[in-house]
Amino acid sequence: MGSTPGSADAVYLDGGVKTAAKILVVGHFAVGKTTFIGTMSEIPPLRTEERMTQAGAQVDDLMGVRGKTTTTVAMDFGRITLSEKLVLYLFGTPGQERFVQVWEDMTKGALGALILVDPERLKESFAVIDLVEQYGLPYAISVNHFDDTAIRSDDELREALDLLPETPIVTCDARDQKSSADALIALVRYLQTRTARSMT
């Protein structure tokens, strides 16, 4: 990848970059999108997190969420330079249903989406997958494993989420740069395969 995250030379984009690709990082509430982008971004990520208040208690289900005190209210943004000529811009969407209106603008120009999934809350991913499909975005599934979550096989996940056989499924820990990078690589390779297939 490009410069070391947080270093002074990482802020400015190299003049040789010819191609920029927009990727969405999506998922339900509290699945790890902000953490994922923060882990992967080579620049200080843009975050629009606000402290959760009692007013949101009626709409933000904290069941199964440990220590969640803030929530994204607009988007997260990060950047990864993959090569001298290619850079990825990562846009993280809010996970709550009341922010669905934001999605329409976010999907414009996006090549695809990485859908983060909590294996203990699979049902909460249905609405997210439906939205991504509604906007016609190709996607990969990245199962974000938290400390005590059970390991589920790809076949179990594919059946539970009703995925097509070609949809990539990868496992990551959003706090870990290597496994998060592997998830993005799986998505990029899938997008490249689809593009090559459409050109033949």
- When pLDDT is averaged across residues 156-163 and rounded to a whole number, the result is 96
pLDDT at 30: 87
Handedness of CA 68, 122, 116, 106 (dihedral sign): negative
The CA distance from 190 to 183, in Å, is: 11
Query: Per the structure block, which two tokens stand in for 101?
Result: 């209106």
Query: Mean pLDDT of all residues in the chain?
Result: 83
Judge contact between 111 and 82, C-beta under 8 A: no
Tens of pLDDT, residues 39-58: 999 999 886 655 644 544 44
Q: What is the CA radius of gyration of the chain?
A: 17
Specify the pLDDT at position 191. 95
Using CA atoms, how far apart are residues 51 and 189, in angstroms rounded to an integer?
Answer: 37
Of 120 and 62, the structure prediction assigns the larger pLDDT to 120
The larger pLDDT score, comparing residue 200 to residue 119, is at 119
d(CA 161, CA 19): 33
In the chain, the domains with their CATH numbers are 8-198 (3.40.50.300)
Q: In angstroms, rounded to a whole number, what is the distance separating the alpha carbons of residues 36 and 27?
A: 11
Give the DSSP H or E segment for 147: none
Confidence band of 136 (pLDDT split at 50, 70, 90) = very high
Report whether pLDDT(12) > 80.
no
